[in-house]
Amino acid sequence: METKVFKPDEIPAAAALLAAGELVAFPTETVYGLGADATNVDAVKQVYRAKGRPSDNPLIVHVADVATVERFAMPLSETAKKLIKAFWPGPLTMIFKLKPNALATEVTGGLQTAAFRNPDNAATLALIRAAKTPIVGPSANTSGKPSPTLAEHVYHDLNGKIAGILDDGPTKVGVESTVLDLSTDQPAILRPGAITPEAIEAVIGMPVQTEAHHVGATEVPKAPGMKYKHYAPNAQVYIVDRSEDWPQALAWAAQQDVPMGVMATDAILNQNQIPSNCEQFSLGTDIQSASQRLFAGLRHFDTETEIKDILCQAFENKGLGLAYMNRLNKSAGQTHFSV
């Protein structure tokens, strides 16, 4: 299969492929997603095959309007309506109870709930409208690998496996959307993202559960990223927890007889002597730029060098740092540099 790259002025052609049951990757403000008609079971099955994704890992349904959600979900609560008004379009995915037999089990993982998102990307919203169908959209990468923040990342992983890629340049946020479960009595964040617990609580006026990011080996996850290893490059990632740990971490790196990677903010890179066997990748100046660049850095060391180990900077586990550290811990397999 030839994978065609479309520009935003070619959306009708990309939408025609989706409507015909083909797979087309699409941009969002978070990462690139792998699109298929959410109402076409055969198309959805292709998503799992293309990614090598476990079949009990549910998919997020991307929509261009609230009316589409109401076609499939049970009546929306006042809490849901407040959140939609505040954060859609945007990086917030919400899980709702479904009407009976509203979506195929291939979309829901066999659950009676489904996750919906209205992405903040004009090209993708136009794509969904032109295709005249909601589209499933897991990250457009090989399952378990760092999520794609450029069309080139998608092409690297899925060239020849999907029909097309809608290229709208680099994503803005860089980590996947916040997933909020509204199918339970207390709203619960199943995956942290750019929309923080504090921002959600300020809108709905009630506490949000935040310790629901993992499930057991025999449980079916309600949202992506809760059960399986994610975001992992070929190299082993070591998390450097504190700025004062960097001199010792870099001294250790200098003693290794293999090329090493270093991912850190400009302040860390400028304040420390980087060993000659270490290649640098800047995470910018703060948590916003670090979140945007995290996956690009992991992919850089995966595809452009022979790096076997990567030292990566930690951030405080609050605000956007919750999302950043969630992804970094998974990419590292919870491995931290030990002083």
Q: What number of residues does the chain have?
A: 339
30 marked as part of a ligand binding site = yes
On whether the CB atoms of residues 261 and 310 are closer than 8 A, the answer is yes
238 marked as part of a ligand binding site = no
- In eight-state DSSP terms, residue 75 is P
* 3-class secondary structure, 139: strand
- CB proximity list for 81: less than 8 A, separation 6 or greater: none
- CB proximity list for 288: less than 8 A, separation 6 or greater: 320
191 marked as part of a ligand binding site = yes
Task: Give the torsion through C-alpha atoms of 334, 324, 121, 92, to 10 deg.
Answer: 90
230 marked as part of a ligand binding site = no
- Integer Rg of the chain from CA: 20
141 marked as part of a ligand binding site = no
71 marked as part of a ligand binding site = no
177 marked as part of a ligand binding site = yes
Integer Cα distance of 125 and 129 in angstroms:
6
State the maximum Cα–Cα separation within the chain, in Å, rounded to a whole number: 61
Integer Cα distance of 17 and 23 in angstroms:
7
Half-sphere exposure (CA, 13 Å, Cβ side) for 77?
16
Q: Which residue numbers belong to the known binding site for L-threonine?
A: 30, 62, 117, 177
Q: Which residue numbers belong to the known binding site for ATP?
A: 53, 57, 113, 139, 147, 191, 231
Q: Which residue numbers belong to the known binding site?
A: 30, 53, 57, 62, 113, 117, 139, 147, 177, 191, 231
